[in-house]
Structures are given as structure tokens and as C-alpha cells.
Amino acid sequence: MNERQRSMPALLLAALAGLLLGATGCKKEQPAQATQAPAPQGKGVVKLVYVNWAEGVAMTHLARAILEDRMGYQVEMTMADVAPVFTAVANGDSDAFLDGWLPITHKDYLERFKDKVVDLGPNYEGARIGLVVPSYVKASSIEDLEGLKAELDGQIVGIDSGAGIMTTTEKAVSEYALGLKLVPSSGPAMTATLKDAISRKRPVVVTGWKPHWKFARWDLKFLEDPKGIYGGAETIHTIARRGLEQDKPEVASFLRNFKLDDQQLGSLMGAVAETRDDPARAVREWAKQHQALVDSWIPKA
């Protein structure tokens, strides 16, 4: 008994090492599993990165479905946080990111990497950032927040400190002399606070942006911004690595053509949200219903 037990750790370690070693041989299996859809012909791999934001999840899955089903590429998708995503594109390790918010939210990243990334232009116009409240809150403009200071516990619930919307909100707080404190938290904490306040019908004000799933889930409104601190509408851009246009011109021009309007993105996000766990199927279904639009994106040979 003891003898056998003694050999167990050694055995386990050996088995592990064997797995790791033998494993390198199995590398070829991966691509075979990934291609289930019949593709015209293999033209190489396109690497798309995305952040787990609803609009980006929907658009990136749609782009993947089209690149694979209609254009014969193989697509690798990687989900990560926003800073690593920009870093990967700038580094040339990823081909494109479809969820770059301009001119304000992701300005810092774009300035920092301006020599290393290429802006392929907007894929959605009419995005917006600002201060958001549930529709039952009496305020209709940022100026009205003054009078609600006590009920709001003197605070605006923000997201990650350092995000573009935070800098802009700091400016709004001082320009409107609100006397409210902008509390940095995170996207999830912001939506959780919102959920909590709504369930108790309490007033709350958060830094918000659109498109965002929160507008589908709850009845919310943007506060008017008479001083125009938050600027006009934001647009979502596709950001590509430098060199994509040279080595994969067809992919680059597809990504340039890829554009959705408010109603189209809304229905796409809705479809993805409904299936929850299977965005790939939802976007293929959506693409079938929007054949003409999808055709117009695919570059003619």
C-alpha cells in the first residue's frame, strides 16, 4: 500500500508531463474543429478582438459569420478588456477591433497608438454618452441635478477611473457647478447600482452611453446637456492594425463597408440578447433577414 502510494505523485507528474508533451502533437486538430460552416475556399485567418460590450459582441460575431460563410476566411475571436484589446491591435497581433468609440471615449487610446493603428471609419453613427437617469427621476437636464443633491447622496455613479467618459463628466461637474461627487467604480458596478436603485424606485444618476443593453432592460433617459460638454453624438469605429489594408485588402474593405444604422444595430443586439448563449446562430439568422445589406458590404472581386 505504502509503496504504491509513494509512486502516485511521481506517476501523476509523469502523466502530466506526458500530456503536455504529447499535446504539442495535437496542434493540428484545432483548425479542423473551428470550421463548421461551408466556406468557399480557405484564405487565411482573420483575428478579431472584442470587449464584452453588447454592441461589440453582436457586431463582431456578425462580421465573423460573414467573413467565414461568404468570404472564405477563418476567424479567430478573442475577448479581453479594452486596454489589452487596443494594445493587441497596435502591436499587430490582432487584425481589427470593431468597437472603438470616437471622438471622445477612446480618444486616449487612439492618440497613444496613432502611429500603430488605422481607423477604418465608422460602423455606427448616433452613439451617445452623457448622464443617464431612470425615466421616473424628475430632472430632465443636467442643470436640474442641483436640486436633487440630497436624494442622490451627493454622487454620480461612474465607471472605471481613467475612462474617457469619466474625464468628460469631471468637466461637466465643474462647468455646471453641480457640487456632486463623481464616484469611480466599474461598468458592472454602475449597472448593478442602477438595477438596485430602479428596484427601489430611488433617484440615481450614472455615467451612461448608448448603444447599451441597459436601455433595452430599463426605462432610462439621457439628461439634456445645454452646455454641450458631452459633445454631439459619438460614433463607433472599426480600428485595424497597420498593414491590414496591404496584406488583406479584401478584409479591410469589407470592414470599411460594414455599417449599421440605429434600427439595424438595435435589432441585431436584440436578436443576440434573445439567444443569450448562442450569438453565432443569432447573427446568421439576422444576416439571412438582411441579405441586401450584407451583400452591399462584401467587396466585389
Partner 1 sequence: MKLRLGEGFERLIDMLKERFDPFFHSLADGLTAAIRGLEAVLLLPPSYVIIGLLAAASWRLSGLGSAVLSALGLLLIDKMGLWQATMETLALVLSAAVVSLLLGIPLGIASTYSRWMERLMRPVLDLMQTMPAFVYLIPAVLFFRLGKVPGMVATVIFAMPPAVRLTQLGIKQVPRDVVDAAIAFGSTPRQLLFQVQLPIALPTLLAGVNQTLMLSLSMVVISAMIGAGGLGEEVLKGITQLRIGLGFESGIAVVILAIVLDRLTHALGQSRTRPS
Q: Region of 153 please: left (phi>0), alpha (psi -120 to 50) or beta.
A: left
- Grid cell for residue 101: 468609440
Q: Using the rule CB under 8 A, is 280 a contact of partner 1?
A: no
**C-beta closer to partner 1: residue 2 or 246:** 2
Q: Using the rule CB under 8 A, is 93 a contact of partner 1?
A: yes
Q: Using the rule CB under 8 A, is 20 a contact of partner 1?
A: yes
Q: Using the rule CB under 8 A, is 19 a contact of partner 1?
A: yes
Residue type, 133: V
Residue 134: cis peptide before it, omega within 30 degrees of 0:
no
Q: Using the rule CB under 8 A, is 53 a contact of partner 1?
A: yes
- Is there a contact between 104 and 164 (Cβ–Cβ < 8 Å)? yes
Q: Is 99 helix (H, G, I), strand (E, B) or coil?
A: strand
- Is there a contact between 95 and 244 (Cβ–Cβ < 8 Å)? yes
- Measuring CA to CA, how many Å separate 93 from each of 116, 226, 290? 11, 42, 32
Among 14, 192, 216, 233, binds partner 1 (CB under 8 A): 192
Q: For residue 284, what are the contacts with CB-CB under 8 A and spacing of at least 6?
A: 65, 69
Piece of 100-108, 121-129, 140-148, 190-198 that binds partner 1 (CB under 8 A): 190-198
| φ/ψ (deg, to 5) at 6 | -60, -35
Q: Is 138 helix (H, G, I), strand (E, B) or coil?
A: coil
- Is there a contact between 287 and 66 (Cβ–Cβ < 8 Å)? yes
Interface residues for partner 1 in 204-243 (CB under 8 A)?
213
Nearest to 63 by CA among 53, 54, 73: 73
- Is there a contact between 131 and 221 (Cβ–Cβ < 8 Å)? no
Nearest distance in Å: CB 2, partner 1: 5
Q: Using the rule CB under 8 A, is 196 a contact of partner 1?
A: no
Piece of 2-10, 114-122, 135-143, 256-264 that binds partner 1 (CB under 8 A): 2-10
Among 16, 34, 216, 233, binds partner 1 (CB under 8 A): 16
Piece of 6-14, 65-73, 166-174, 249-257 that binds partner 1 (CB under 8 A): 6-14
Number of shown-chain residues binding partner 1 (CB under 8 A): 42
**C-beta closer to partner 1: residue 101 or 297:** 101
- Is there a contact between 58 and 246 (Cβ–Cβ < 8 Å)? no
Piece of 17-25, 134-142, 197-205, 234-242 that binds partner 1 (CB under 8 A): 17-25
Q: Using the rule CB under 8 A, is 191 a contact of partner 1?
A: yes
Piece of 8-16, 65-73, 225-233, 281-289 that binds partner 1 (CB under 8 A): 8-16
- Measuring CA to CA, how many Å separate 297 from each of 72, 102, 247, 291? 15, 22, 19, 10
**C-beta closer to partner 1: residue 96 or 180:** 96
Other beta carbons within 10 Å of 83: 13
**C-beta closer to partner 1: residue 192 or 233:** 192
Q: Using the rule CB under 8 A, is 274 a contact of partner 1?
A: no
Q: Which residues bind partner 1 (CB under 8 A)?
A: 2, 5-6, 8-9, 12, 16-17, 19-20, 22-27, 29-30, 49, 52-54, 78-81, 83-85, 87-88, 91, 93-94, 187-188, 191-192, 195, 213, 276-277
